[in-house]
Amino acid sequence: MTTHTMRRPAIQLTITVFALLTAASATSQTPSSFSRSDLTAAQALLQRAQSDSTAYQLAESLTTEVGPRFSGTLGDRAAVAWAQEQMRRLGFENVHTQEVDVPQWVRGEAEFAVLEPWPQPMPSLALGGTVGTPNAGVEAEAVMVKDLAALQALPAGAVKGRIVFFNNPIERRRDWAEYSRAVSVRGGGPTAASALGAVGVVIRSLSTSSQRFPHTGGSRQPQDVPRIPALAISNPDADALQRQFASGRTVRLRIKSTARELPKQRSANVIGEIPGTDLAHEIVILGAHLDSWDVTVGAIDNAAGVGIVLTAAHLIQAQKLKPRRTLRVVLFANEENGSAGSRAYAAAQEQNLANHVLGIEADYGAGPVWQFSTRVNPADVGVIDQMYRVLRPLKMDRGTNEAPGNADLSPLVAKGMPILGPELDGTYYLDVHHTANDTMAQIDPAAIRQSAATFAVGVWLGAQYPGKWQRLPPKPPRP
């Protein structure tokens, strides 16, 4: 999961448009429900999925046999080969790649230290896309602010020639509201500070952990603002730095980074299908990103998601079920530092977008799913209730019809594709997200099994729906 995910549409607008659509469709469409045999098959699928460990094994294989797979690296290339091999082994058809140009950003080494009032070094990681410093590093007086609004509220010239410390703690939550709120600091902080004349940025990691791991992550780097070096430090170090500021004395910091951008590299989206029968031209798309950050094997982000979507489609096949609509799994390239894979897929499918009738994406850890949210046309909410009744033994809440969705399917959602948006429990997700500590030790086999079961049942019934999945109004553009 990266910067530009998860903004909720203006609720009032959504309600108004939904109300209009509901009124229009009430006259033109009788409610549809699943056939008894499709529901029976869904229950059998759920039973099987509950004792199947394929998703966990896939995550284990990807993190062990490939490891870190930052886009544009050799690990990324190995991941693309791995994904095709697994799809073939699991019985997918039409397995192929879609080539994508991706940035080649190299982290290099980072150093961070407080110089005054009380000197000490702290572990740090550069934010993705940022530039390095001169060899001698950058030393400057520092200004502490909470977030972008606080930065903008400073008097003119307050950060000119200085290093800005964004100190914006987040709270532990099951949903991703806190991440959603705070991610603007990581994504937009360096640019905003640079525009005001700052020479460097350090941020408190988007983290709920008290361990001394800094969290990296993407940062927007528009062409029209000079790039400045930007690093993240861990929560306990941000606390310590905050205490130095609290002394009221001048705080001076030193940043050194050898991060740099090299020419673009090739990567690829990996695509495989379980072909449909009488509605084969309609696609139910399952998405997850294949890449990871460079500092991690990316178990929860996102080997877990890869395992979940591959397993969901595989189990339907393994049960000898023949979906009416085509199930298409897309493992996207470069989600973490650019989303080039997502954009390339949407561009290549531009003439075929209307045939993408339903989507589901896994990019928030290994689960379990705690509520079965969706973003479907209100005309179709009744069948979601039916789906939920099948899923209820997996112990989740019904959820809302305002699922935020994840990054890679967002271009399709923007064009009105409905989604199933099962919400995975993020209580501990932001303890390790984008850190060297994101390993298989963070995945609970029972949790990922429950998630894969949820996806399998949702996708099976989504493919069988006897009605027509109604599209949504285009999602308002992100601010």
Minimum CB distance to Zn ion smaller for 301 or for 431: 301
> How many amino acids of this chain bind Zn ion (CB under 5 A)?
4
Q: Which two tokens stand for residue 227?
A: 């790039």
Ordered DSSP codes for 115-141: EESS-EEE-EEEPBT-----TT-EEEE
Name which of residues 325 to 364 contact Zn ion (CB under 5 A).
363
Minimum CB distance to Zn ion smaller for 113 or for 177: 177
Per DSSP, helices labelled H in 319-409 are 340-348, 381-391
Report the SS3 class of residue 371: strand
Distance in Å, CB of 354 to Zn ion, minimum: 28
Determine if 237 is a binding residue for Zn ion (CB under 5 A): no
Of the candidate spans 53-61, 96-104, 263-271, 300-308, the one that interacts with Zn ion by CB under 5 A turns out to be 300-308
Minimum CB distance to Zn ion smaller for 18 or for 429: 429
Distance in Å, CB of 415 to Zn ion, minimum: 22
Distance in Å, CB of 371 to Zn ion, minimum: 20
Name which of residues 125 to 154 contact Zn ion (CB under 5 A).
none
Distance in Å, CB of 419 to Zn ion, minimum: 16
Of the candidate spans 81-89, 136-144, 238-246, 302-310, the one that interacts with Zn ion by CB under 5 A turns out to be 302-310
- 473 residue type, one letter: P
Determine if 290 is a binding residue for Zn ion (CB under 5 A): no
Minimum CB distance to Zn ion smaller for 192 or for 344: 344
Minimum CB distance to Zn ion smaller for 377 or for 435: 435
Q: Which two tokens stand for residue 208?
A: 């709920």
Q: Which two tokens stand for residue 187?
A: 């994504």
Per DSSP, helices labelled H in 50-176 are 54-61, 74-89, 148-152
State how far the Cα of 150 lies from the Cα of 40, in Å rounded to an integer: 56
Distance in Å, CB of 289 to Zn ion, minimum: 6
Distance in Å, CB of 181 to Zn ion, minimum: 18
Per DSSP, helices labelled H in 29-109 are 36-49, 54-61, 74-89
Residue 302: exposed, middle, or buried by beta-carbon count in 10 A (0-12, 13-18, 19+)?
A: buried
* Binds Zn ion (CB under 5 A): choice among 52, 76, 301, 361: 301
* Binds Zn ion (CB under 5 A): choice among 73, 234, 302, 442: 302
- Beta-bridged to residue 265, according to DSSP, are 102
Minimum CB distance to Zn ion smaller for 187 or for 229: 187
Distance in Å, CB of 269 to Zn ion, minimum: 15
Beta pairing class for 369-375 and 419-424: antiparallel
Minimum CB distance to Zn ion smaller for 66 or for 192: 66
Distance in Å, CB of 342 to Zn ion, minimum: 12
Cβ proximity of 336 and 291 under 8 Å: yes
Distance in Å, CB of 146 to Zn ion, minimum: 26
Minimum CB distance to Zn ion smaller for 151 or for 436: 436
Neighbour count for residue 13 (Cβ, 10 Å): 11
Determine if 1 is a binding residue for Zn ion (CB under 5 A): yes
For residue 117, whether the previous peptide bond is cis, meaning omega lies within 30 degrees of 0, is yes
Residue 165: CA count within 13 A, CB half-sphere: 28
State how far the Cα of 277 lies from the Cα of 296, in Å rounded to an integer: 41
Residues of this chain that interact with Zn ion (CB under 5 A) are 1, 301-302, 363
